[in-house]
């Protein structure tokens, strides 16, 4: 008999589905054919009884038997096994497995952090700087998004802006690299470079995001002040983002009332967040206001929930028909059984 291993090359991929799981990677596509097993065994038993009833009475009793005569049951067993293999082949055994593959890309996120000198402000003398709070919360947000195990890991870039805008860390999936840059970052201390260029920062981020082939791109901008550079109006920059399908989440951190120096001395002035609110609205995003670290953490948590994309998994099943491995042994056994009955096993016991 040809070894079964030699028949592996004859196994072909099947379009059938496994309906009865056996063990491991084995299953049956048409298990109802197993109902024929009792019929095969019953027919073999009844056939044996008719054979004995018809032939035994004509034999003298107590005759010595040869070795071959004592083995005449073998052809009957081979025939039964052949029929059982044929029934199992009809049940269409399959080998294969069902796998799940993730099909989801992450979100491209541009983080814009205000580095102007106003970010040096503290809630009180013992409190950390506003910039240090923002940097810590921003780093935690970035690490969560870049190491996400539930959804797809996000591609994140870091921009710092004051009177000008710098791409501090290009888009990356390496959370340690981005957080390392963030830890070394500080506010702008040079007076000639100071300021709040919100419009330029958004326009620069849009220009970089435009080059990325992604279905989901967002900008998260954090600032504590109003536009002071006026090279590109913030709302105009927001319109550029909207045209590219980029959402711009804007965060105003700190109190809405600030002390300003005027010719009449220091006076309280309410800060205008209208531009930030408009940018978020026209880009189908949201505007947030946070006065302390707890509120800022809640803001980034809210953004995280709004832009979370759960992994989608596709079911991939691949099966291979095994019935060719059963049909050949069944045919050979049945042929051997018939040849045996016609030759050495034809004599009566």
| Contacts (Cβ under 8 Å, ≥6 apart) of 42 | none
DSSP-assigned beta bridge partners for residue 290 = 253
Identify whether residues 265 and 285 lie together within a single domain: yes
User: Does the residue 347 lie in any domain?
Assistant: no
pLDDT for 1 equals 41
User: Does the residue 348 lie in any domain?
Assistant: no
Identify whether residues 167 and 25 lie together within a single domain: no
Residues 333 and 81: beta-carbon distance below 8 Å: yes
| Contacts (Cβ under 8 Å, ≥6 apart) of 111 | 138, 141, 142, 156, 157, 158, 159, 220, 222
Percent of the chain with pLDDT over 90: 46
> Phi, psi at residue 268, to the nearest 5°?
-75, 140
| Residue indicated by tokens 């799940």 | 100
DSSP structural state of residue 151 = B
Closest alpha carbon to 136 in 76, 177, 179, 200: 179
Identify whether residues 120 and 88 lie together within a single domain: no
Q: For the segment 158-198, what is each residue's pLDDT rounded down to a tens digit? A: 999 999 999 999 999 999 999 999 999 999 999 999 999 99
Split at pLDDT 50, 70, 90, the class of 133 is very high
Residue 105 above 90 pLDDT? no
- Residue range 104-119: mean pLDDT, rounded: 90
Identify whether residues 140 and 85 lie together within a single domain: no
User: Does the residue 349 lie in any domain?
Assistant: no
Q: For the segment 17-30, what is each residue's pLDDT rounded down to a tens digit? A: 677 777 777 878 88
- Residue range 107-136: mean pLDDT, rounded: 95
- Residue range 128-133: mean pLDDT, rounded: 96
Say which residue, 318 or 256, is predicted with more confidence.
256
Residue 229 above 60 pLDDT? yes
Element (H, E) at 287: strand 287-290
Between the CA of residue 13 and those of 51, 96, 122, 304, what are the distances in Å? 44, 9, 68, 44
User: Does the residue 240 lie in any domain?
Assistant: yes
Identify whether residues 113 and 78 lie together within a single domain: no
Identify whether residues 280 and 165 lie together within a single domain: yes
Q: How far apart are CA 217 and CA 108, in angstroms?
A: 5
Structural domain range at position 180? 108-306
CATH classification of the domain holding 267:
3.40.50.410
Identify whether residues 320 and 282 lie together within a single domain: no
Q: How far apart are CA 135 and CA 141, in angstroms?
A: 10
pLDDT for 95 equals 79
Q: β-strands 165-172, 155-161: how paired?
A: antiparallel
- How many independent structural domains does the chain possess? 2
pLDDT for 192 equals 92
Residues 163 and 197: beta-carbon distance below 8 Å: yes
Residue 286 above 80 pLDDT? yes
Query: Taking the mean position of all CA atoms in its chain, how far away is CA 147?
Result: 13
Q: For the segment 51-81, what is each residue's pLDDT rounded down to a tens digit? A: 544 454 555 555 555 666 667 778 788 888 8
pLDDT for 78 equals 85
Provide the 3-class DSSP secondary structure of residue 206: helix
Split at pLDDT 50, 70, 90, the class of 297 is very high
pLDDT for 7 equals 44
pLDDT for 6 equals 45
Split at pLDDT 50, 70, 90, the class of 99 is low
221-252: b or e for each residue (b if 16 or more CB lie within 10 Å)?
A: bbbbbbbebeebebbebbbbbbeeebbbbbbb
User: Does the residue 118 lie in any domain?
Assistant: yes
Identify whether residues 272 and 320 lie together within a single domain: no
Element (H, E) at 76: helix 73-90
Residue 242 above 70 pLDDT? yes
- Residue range 298-324: mean pLDDT, rounded: 75
User: Does the residue 62 lie in any domain?
Assistant: yes
Split at pLDDT 50, 70, 90, the class of 268 is confident
Identify whether residues 59 and 11 lie together within a single domain: yes
Q: What burial class does residue 253 get, using C-beta atoms within 10 Å of its C-beta: 0-12 exposed, 13-18 middle, 19+ buried?
A: buried
User: Does the residue 26 lie in any domain?
Assistant: yes
Q: How far apart are CA 175 and CA 292, in angstroms?
A: 25
Between the CA of residue 32 and those of 91, 96, 211, 318, what are the distances in Å? 7, 20, 58, 22
Identify whether residues 271 and 133 lie together within a single domain: yes
> Mean pLDDT lowest for which of 117-121, 195-199, 304-308?
304-308
| Residue indicated by tokens 């291993």 | 5
Residue 96 above 50 pLDDT? yes
Q: How far apart are CA 184 and CA 161, in angstroms?
A: 15
Residue 118 above 60 pLDDT? yes
Identify whether residues 295 and 330 lie together within a single domain: no
Provide the 3-class DSSP secondary structure of residue 18: coil
Read off the tokens for 196: 């709040």
Residue 144 above 90 pLDDT? yes
User: Does the residue 44 lie in any domain?
Assistant: yes
Q: How far apart are CA 248 and CA 242, in angstroms?
A: 8
Identify whether residues 64 and 164 lie together within a single domain: no
């Amino acid at each position: 008999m040809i070894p079964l291993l030699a028949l592996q090359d004859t196994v072909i991929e099947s379009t059938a589905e496994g309906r009865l799981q056996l063990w491991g990677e084995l299953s049956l596509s048409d298990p109802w054919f197993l109902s024929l097993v009792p019929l095969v065994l019953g027919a073999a038993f009844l056939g044996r009884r008719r054979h004995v009833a018809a032939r035994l009475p004509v034999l003298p009793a107590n005759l010595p038997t040869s070795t071959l005569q004592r083995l005449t049951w073998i052809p009957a067993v081979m025939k039964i096994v052949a029929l059982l293999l044929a029934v199992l082949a009809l049940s269409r055994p399959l080998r294969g497995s069902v796998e799940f593959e993730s099909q989801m890309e992450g979100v491209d996120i541009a983080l814009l952090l205000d580095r102007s000198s106003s970010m040096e402000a503290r809630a009180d003398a013992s409190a950390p700087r506003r910039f240090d709070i923002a940097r810590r919360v921003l780093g935690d947000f970035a690490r969560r998004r870049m190491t996400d195990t539930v959804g797809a890991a996000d591609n994140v870039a870091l921009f710092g802006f004051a009177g000008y805008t710098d791409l501090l860390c290009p888009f990356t999936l390496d959370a340690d690299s981005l957080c390392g840059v963030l830890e070394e970052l500080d506010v702008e201390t040079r007076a000639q470079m100071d300021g709040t260029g919100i419009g330029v920062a958004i326009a620069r981020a849009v220009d970089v995001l435009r080059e990325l082939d992604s279905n989901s791109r967002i900008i998260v901008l954090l600032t504590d002040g109003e536009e002071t550079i006026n090279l590109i109006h913030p709302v105009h920059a927001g319109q550029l983002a909207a045209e590219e399908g980029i959402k711009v989440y804007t965060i105003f951190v700190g109190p809405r009332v600030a002390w300003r120096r005027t010719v009449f001395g220091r006076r309280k002035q309410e800060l205008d967040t209208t531009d930030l609110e408009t940018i978020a609205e026209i880009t189908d995003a949201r505007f947030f206001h946070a006065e302390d670290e707890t509120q800022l953490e809640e803001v980034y948590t809210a953004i995280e929930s709004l832009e979370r994309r759960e992994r989608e998994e596709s079911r991939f099943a691949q099966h291979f028909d095994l019935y060719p491995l059963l049909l050949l042994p069944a045919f050979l056994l049945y042929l051997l059984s018939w040849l045996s009955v016609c030759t050495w096993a034809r004599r009566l016991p």
